[in-house]
Amino acid sequence: MRLTEKLFRRISDEVTKMSSGTKIMNTTCRNCKYPGSEIDRCHVDDSSVTWSAEYPDYKPELYDSERLAGKPWADPALGTEEYRQIKFNTKDGNVDRTSHLGNYRIVDGLPRNPIGRTGIGGRGLLGRWGPNHAADPIVTRWKRDANGIAMKNPITKQKYLQMCAIKRKDCGEWAIPGGMVDPGEQVTATLKREFVEEALNSDTRPLEIDIFFQLGGKEVYKGYVDDPRNTDQS
Nearest residue to 62 (alpha-carbon basis) of 105, 114, 103, 118: 118
In a domain, 152, yes or no: no
Summarised one tens digit per residue, pLDDT across range 203-234 is 667 787 777 777 767 888 899 999 999 999 99
CA distances (Å), origin 204, targets 128, 134, 185, 209 = 32, 24, 22, 9
Question: What pLDDT is recorded for position 226?
Answer: 92
The amino acid occupying position 72 is P
Question: What pLDDT is recorded for position 159?
Answer: 94
Q: What is the mean pLDDT of residues 48-52?
A: 96
Q: How many domains does the chain have?
A: 2
Cβ proximity of 146 and 137 under 8 Å: no
Question: What pLDDT is recorded for position 212?
Answer: 78
Pick the last residue of a domain from 132, 149, 179. 132
- Given a cut of 90, whether residue 9 has pLDDT beyond it is no
Question: What pLDDT is recorded for position 58?
Answer: 97
Summarised one tens digit per residue, pLDDT across range 81-113 is 999 999 999 999 999 999 999 999 999 999 999
For residues 35 and 78, membership in a common domain is answered with yes
In a domain, 3, yes or no: no
For residues 195 and 96, membership in a common domain is answered with no
For residues 109 and 193, membership in a common domain is answered with no
Phi and psi for 61 in degrees, rounded to 5? -75, 140
In a domain, 34, yes or no: yes
d(CA 41, CA 187): 32
In a domain, 155, yes or no: no
Q: Residue 211: which domain range? A: 135-140+166-215
For residues 51 and 117, membership in a common domain is answered with yes
In a domain, 50, yes or no: yes
Cβ proximity of 114 and 24 under 8 Å: no
Start-end of H helices in 20-93: 81-84
Nearest residue to 197 (alpha-carbon basis) of 129, 135, 105, 113: 135
For residues 113 and 35, membership in a common domain is answered with yes
In a domain, 145, yes or no: no
211: left (phi over 0), alpha (psi -120 to 50) or beta: alpha
For residues 35 and 123, membership in a common domain is answered with yes
Average pLDDT in the chain: 88
pTM of the model: 0.83
Q: What is the mean pLDDT of residues 61-79?
A: 95
For residues 55 and 98, membership in a common domain is answered with yes
For residues 29 and 110, membership in a common domain is answered with yes
In a domain, 40, yes or no: yes
- Given a cut of 50, whether residue 1 has pLDDT beyond it is no
For residues 109 and 185, membership in a common domain is answered with no
Cβ proximity of 118 and 44 under 8 Å: yes
Q: Could you count the other beta carbons within 10 Å of the beta carbon of residue 20?
A: 7
- Given a cut of 60, whether residue 79 has pLDDT beyond it is yes
In a domain, 124, yes or no: yes
